[in-house]
Chain A
């Protein structure tokens, strides 16, 4: 039997944590892009797009992320798409992130007072000009702290990708535990790794909330 030193455990967890970070970054970046499209559909004027966006948001917010992972992982092969675990994890997490970010951002757009829409309309701006120059700049300031805060959920959400066999921090923990028979040490170290990833983000989010609030105009 191989003897696992503490360093072996930590080293292997850190190697696996790279994949947690990579998956988080991909899900957050792509989820942000898709989320922006969903946001525009959600607050726009075209009714079919709005309904589509509402349906998308409700489905992804109303079902467990784990089911979404399973459906992508087992569903896409049924329609003939080759679906490795990393791809399924990226896709499911991206869509899940997009749904939540779109809803967070919708709240920010809608909290821009109606008078701002009316004033910009009375100055003959069209919808896109109103959005681009008046509403989104104000919504953005409101959106930054909760968006950064939500990134913590994305990092923790990546742990579920272990269940479809993607080797990130959680899956690596299980594998090391199975070999070392030291579950408490291994999972404790993994939890600490998650905390080290998440704590700076939530601290940053709180800080942004403070500074942006102070700088908030009007």
Chain B
């Protein structure tokens, strides 16, 4: 059974329909890249999977539970599905360690003594054990994004959504973040990532979805999608990149 099941998902912002019927299954442990032009609806799709955007029609099911729009269901969903953002969104008034410990303590009710080892473990996981006491503005962009990944991991999610997590980084910092994502993928984490890193998508992902005008226009294994795109839209998109 799929970990995430999306059926006929529709979403509009005012008069603009940004998702026009999305069907998508993501199996546990699967790594899915979502590519497409800006405005194609790829970020919106990802944000719907975490309930940051509501949807008008269709359904999202995570781990067999249907996502309803009320606060209780949303929070239950977010315990299962973590999210990492383009702009990191670390809490600037808290140290890296406290950023990671906050939600386990506040949401799960862990004591400080229980949350601290978890924070140390996930920060070590992203290679930042020694930055526990640093504030976000003392870290590079790449380090901030790795702390953000650690913060999501500390909640022990079943899946992680990554919304263009390297797009705000200087080029030389992209690889350290992608290396972390790659190691998560190797460990069997379920990942859905909106990305412009085509090489990474080709090397690491199990499946690539190409979104165009609010629909999944083409999808398949990365070697097929990148080597022999079927639709003219995907050919054009990939052509513009190379």
List the interface of chain A (C-beta within 8 A of B).
Answer: 113, 115-116, 118-127, 129, 133-134, 137-138, 141, 217-218
B2 on interface, CB distance cutoff 8 Å: no
Alpha-carbon distance between A134 and B82 when the two chains are bound, in angstroms = 18
Instruction: Tell whether, in the assembled complex, residue A123 and residue B93 are in contact, meaning their CB atoms are under 8 Å apart.
Output: no
Alpha-carbon distance between A133 and B78 when the two chains are bound, in angstroms = 18
Instruction: Tell whether, in the assembled complex, residue B82 and residue A122 are in contact, meaning their CB atoms are under 8 Å apart.
Output: yes
Instruction: Tell whether, in the assembled complex, residue B71 and residue A126 are in contact, meaning their CB atoms are under 8 Å apart.
Output: yes
Alpha-carbon distance between A134 and B89 when the two chains are bound, in angstroms = 11
The listed residue (B89, B102, B106, B136) touching A217 by CB distance below 8 A is B136
Q: Which 9 A-B pairs have the closest CB atoms?
A: A218-B92, A119-B89, A123-B103, A115-B89, A122-B83, A124-B78, A217-B92, A218-B137, A124-B75
Closest Cβ of chain B to A123, distance in Å, is: 4
Q: Which residues of B contact A138 (CB under 8 A)?
A: 91-93
Q: Which residues of B contact A141 (CB under 8 A)?
A: 93
Instruction: Tell whether, in the assembled complex, residue A137 and residue B93 are in contact, meaning their CB atoms are under 8 Å apart.
Output: yes
B152 on interface, CB distance cutoff 8 Å: yes
Q: Which residues of A contact B103 (CB under 8 A)?
A: 120, 123-125
Instruction: Tell whether, in the assembled complex, residue B106 and residue A133 are in contact, meaning their CB atoms are under 8 Å apart.
Output: yes
Sample of 18 more A-B contacts, CB < 8 Å, known A115-B85, A124-B79:
A118-B83, A119-B90, A120-B91, A121-B74, A122-B50, A122-B78, A122-B83, A123-B78, A123-B102, A123-B107, A123-B152, A124-B78, A126-B75, A129-B106, A133-B102, A137-B93, A141-B93, A218-B135
Alpha-carbon distance between A218 and B87 when the two chains are bound, in angstroms = 12
Q: Which of A115, A119, A217 has the most CB of B within 10 A?
A: A119
Count of chain A to chain B residue pairs whose CB atoms are closer than 8 Å in the complex: 71
Alpha-carbon distance between A116 and B90 when the two chains are bound, in angstroms = 7
Instruction: Tell whether, in the assembled complex, residue B93 and residue A118 are in contact, meaning their CB atoms are under 8 Å apart.
Output: no
B52 on interface, CB distance cutoff 8 Å: yes
Closest Cβ of chain B to A157, distance in Å, is: 33
Q: Which residues of B contact A133 (CB under 8 A)?
A: 102, 106
Q: Which residues of B contact A121 (CB under 8 A)?
A: 51-52, 74, 78
Q: Which of A123, A127, A217, A218 has the most CB of B within 10 A?
A: A123
Closest residue of chain B to A119 (Cβ to Cβ) is B89
What are 30 contact pairs spanning A and B, CB under 8 A? A115-B85, A115-B87, A118-B89, A119-B83, A119-B85, A119-B91, A119-B148, A120-B91, A120-B103, A121-B51, A122-B50, A122-B78, A122-B83, A122-B152, A123-B103, A123-B107, A123-B152, A124-B155, A125-B107, A127-B71, A129-B107, A133-B106, A138-B92, A217-B92, A217-B93, A217-B135, A217-B136, A218-B92, A218-B135, A218-B137
Closest residue of chain A to B80 (Cβ to Cβ) is A124
Given A115-B87, A217-B93, A218-B92, A122 and B106 contact (CB-CB distance below 8 Å): no
Alpha-carbon distance between A124 and B87 when the two chains are bound, in angstroms = 19
Alpha-carbon distance between A218 and B144 when the two chains are bound, in angstroms = 11
B151 on interface, CB distance cutoff 8 Å: yes
Alpha-carbon distance between A113 and B89 when the two chains are bound, in angstroms = 9
Alpha-carbon distance between A127 and B90 when the two chains are bound, in angstroms = 18
Closest residue of chain B to A132 (Cβ to Cβ) is B106
Closest Cβ of chain A to B108, distance in Å, is: 8
Closest Cβ of chain B to A115, distance in Å, is: 4
Alpha-carbon distance between A127 and B71 when the two chains are bound, in angstroms = 9
Q: Which residues of B contact A120 (CB under 8 A)?
A: 91, 103
Alpha-carbon distance between A106 and B65 when the two chains are bound, in angstroms = 37
The listed residue (B52, B91, B136, B137) touching A122 by CB distance below 8 A is B52
Closest residue of chain A to B72 (Cβ to Cβ) is A126
Closest Cβ of chain A to B57, distance in Å, is: 23
Instruction: Tell whether, in the assembled complex, residue A134 and residue B107 are in contact, meaning their CB atoms are under 8 Å apart.
Output: no
Q: Which residues of B contact A116 (CB under 8 A)?
A: 89, 91
